[in-house]
Every structure is written in structure tokens, then in C-alpha cells.
A and B are shown apart, each in its own frame.
Chain A
Amino acid sequence: QQQQQQQQRRHYEELAHKSGFSTEQIKNLHKRFRQLSGNKETISRANLDSIPALANNPIKKQIIDAFFDKRNQRQDDEVGSLEEIGLEQFLMVMSHFRPPAHKSGEEERQAARRQKLRFLFNMHDTDGDGIITLVEYRKELLSKSGAIGHQAAKAIADAAMLEVASTNAPHMAPDDFYEGITFEHFQQILKGLEMESRMHIRFLDVDTTTMRCGKATS
């Protein structure tokens, strides 16, 4: 029993080192993981699908896909998707939503920003080729807010793409073709949004005593 606990603690510490969470937070997240997976070792897509609260979310599929996307595991250049994820992968994905540390230097903040934007980018870039093409953008807009019709989504996507192109590649001859939004362009257009302070989940920051690891039937 004691040895088991020690082993678990070491496991947590290792995870903490990799993902950047504290051991307390990992313990709680592990609890939630077990709830979602039904006390098994891995989570499959079906487990995440069955969360009732997610049903109303227009980008549910993309969120779930993001958990199983290899690119979000921060292991360089692996593409493709996993079938099931274990605790470590779960934590790696969650770590994208850590709030910025209070005393972080400029570099750390930039790195965090880059990481979060990369996560977003991967969500849009569904075929994994490193660019968001117009087709992908349109599809994503269409699914995002169901009430927008085909035409509207197409037009908005076109306008948005045009804006990106205009800001990033201003001088193009009439015959040039703008392939799509690369990661650099993506960073450029979203630089006004201050991702590092907006893209985070609150509870990962506060003391775990105030954290509510909710029920699976939430």
C-alpha cells in the first residue's frame, strides 16, 4: 500500500514536470479522468462524447478531436490521431490551458502564447498539412454556428481569408494563389487578442481546495 502510494507520487511528479501542473492539480485531474473513463486506464472518443453538457457545444467534434490529435502532445512533428489517450496525454492537452504564471518574463509569455496559438491552429488545420486552406476555413465556420447558412458562412470565410492575405502578403500579382493561412500568418492576425491571458481555465490556477471536480453527469 505504501509502496503503491510512493509509486503514484513519483508518477505524479514526473507528470508534473512534463506538463507543468502541480501535483495537487494532477491528483484532481486524475480523479476527473477516472470518472470520464469509467475507472479504466484510457479514455476513448465515446467517453468524451457522452458528456451531456458538451451536447450543446457547436464545436464539440473539434474539441474532442483535439484531445486525440497527436500534434497537441508536443512531441515534435508527429501527425495523426490516437484512438485512446491515457492520463499523460490528457494532461498534456490540458496544459495548454494553464494561465500565465504571475512572475513570468517576456520570453515565457511569448512561448506560452505560441503554444496556445498552435493548439488553436491545429484545431483548424484538420488535414494536418500546416496550412489552413479556404475550404477548411469554410467548413469550420459552417459547423461552428449552426444558424449561419451556407452562403453566409462561405462569404464570411472568404472575407476573413482575404483579410489574412491582405495583411500578410500584400503584394500579390493577379495570378498568384494564396495557399492558405500558415502558422506565422495566424499568429499575426491574432496578435491583438492577447491569447496568453484569455485562453485559460480558471480552476487550474486557484488552490485546489476551491476546485470542484464535478460529477460525470454534469
Chain B
Amino acid sequence: ASPLWLDMAALIRGLRAGRALRGLGGVAVQGTRSTQCSNVRRGFHRAALLRLASDSKSDTSVPPPSYHEVHTAGESSSSSAQGESSEDAQPNTSFQDQSGEHSEDYETEEQLQVRILTAALEFVPQHGWNMEAITAGAETLGLSSASTGMFNNGAGDLVLHFVAQCNAQLTETLAEQNNQVQLGQAESKKTGEFLKDAVEMRLRMLVPYIDTWPQAMSILLLPHNIPDSLKHLSTMVDDIWYYAGDRSTDVNWYTRRAALTGIYNTTELVMVQDSSPDFEETWAFLDNRIKDVVNMANTAKQVQATGEAVVQGLMGAAITKEIY
């Protein structure tokens, strides 16, 4: 082994010892760019101080041990001026100051992952939903390709990130629309129309990636991704119904969400096979499905009203019999 790798081994042992001292719990791991060991150790010290200072209990994922070692190894071995200059160009995440605990300059590992994945999205049409796109994204941020080692679930991470991003955008837009309606600046829509518009808005976010979307859908169906993808789907459907005005507290809560989930999934499937201009056939399909659901809901209401009347009648007869 070369002396460089021996140094790296020592560094790795030091990092692991530092992590052990930090213990479990709230993570504020810094994306260290410095090539000097002392800066890395100072980073851990600051991380520990940051954690003491903050009272956040939310647990972000524990950083995979590979990240630091791989990254610092990558940084150390690459002596190109490019690495240095891009580091200078991003003051937010560099460890330039030596003075102490400037927490605003820190970027958590989660934030870094988000930045890399967002950058990776532009390479998806080209490479597909896989590590190549993530690598390309990391490189545009000036990170070494080895930094992708922190994504254990590569393609899954990328797709889930994209889904979360789309859902967040949808929720924001719906909240904004709701705000306008409450302020009287906009007319409220009928339920069917609202649902149609919300689903269409959300599905249109897939348009730039529509060619590779079947691959993404299959990734989301992988067993280890299913819990997360189901959570995203159920939260999205809950949000759409909430802003549509649903405040039900009975079994309708479930039937409505199940219906909308069905509509969304089937429309998504139609969309990936749709070749009509601007996906006209998809929106027509969506329109018909929504009409079906609205009709079914109205019919159910009528059936329930009739049923209630019948029950009342029977009870009346029974009580009359009971008393006499």
C-alpha cells in the first residue's frame, strides 16, 4: 500500500472514533471539502457543538461511513485546481472560517443530497433514472463522482426525491389557490373540476421525464421503495382532498382517498402510453374517470338516503310491535 493510503486509513480510524464519540441522534454532519486533516477534525468538533446547541430531535439518516472516507480520499487524491476553485465559488458549504460555530454556513448531509439529486434531474432524460445521472449531477456541482457513494439506494433515491419535489410543488400551488379563494380573489371550483385540475397539474410535472417515466415507476415498485412511494402517494392524495374541501370524519375519508388514488394511478399509466398532442387523450380519460366517481358518489348518497328511510320504517314497525 502507498503511504497515501496508510494516511487515509489513519484518517478513517480517526473519523470513526470521532463519530463514536459523537454518539447517535441528531445529525449535523458537514460536507467537508478541506483536504487537511485538522479541518476535518475541527468539523467534527463543530458538529458536536452544533448538535448541543440545537434541540432538534428529528433524525436524519445516519451518514454511511463511506461518505467521509470516500470523499476526503477523492479530494486528497485529486490535486486539480478545478476542485479548489469550485470550492471557493461556493462559500455556503466551505469551511473557510476558522473562528468557530457559524451554523448558517453549514449544510447538512441531507441538504447536500437534495442539491445533488436536484442537479441530477437534468441528466435523467439523457441517462435514465440511475447512478449515472446522479454522478453527472454531482459533477455539475463540482463534487467528485465518488460523492455519489452516499446514495445507497441510487435510482430509488433519485425517483423518490423527484416525487417529493413534485408533491411539494403541488401542495404549494394548491395552498396558494386556496388562499386566493378564501380572500375572495378567486372563485372556488366544484369538486370534480378541482380534482381534475389538481391531478392534471401534478401529472404535467412528469412531462419532461415522460420517456423515462416507466423506468421510474418500476423503480418505485421495488419492494424496498414501496413504503416510501406509498407514503408519498397517500400524502399527496390527502393533500388534494383537503384542499378540495373534504373534511369528512367517517368512512368517506377512506373511500374518497381510495378513489382518487385509483384515478391518479390509472391516469398515470395512460399518460406514459399516450402519444397524442399535449396528452389530450390522457386528460379526456381523466375527465371521464372523475365523472364516474362523482356519479358513483351521488348514487351512493341516494342509496343511503333510501336505505335510511327503509330502516326508519322497519324500526317504527318493530317498536310498535314491541310496545304492544
- A and B pair up: no
Binding site for B on A (CB under 8 A): none
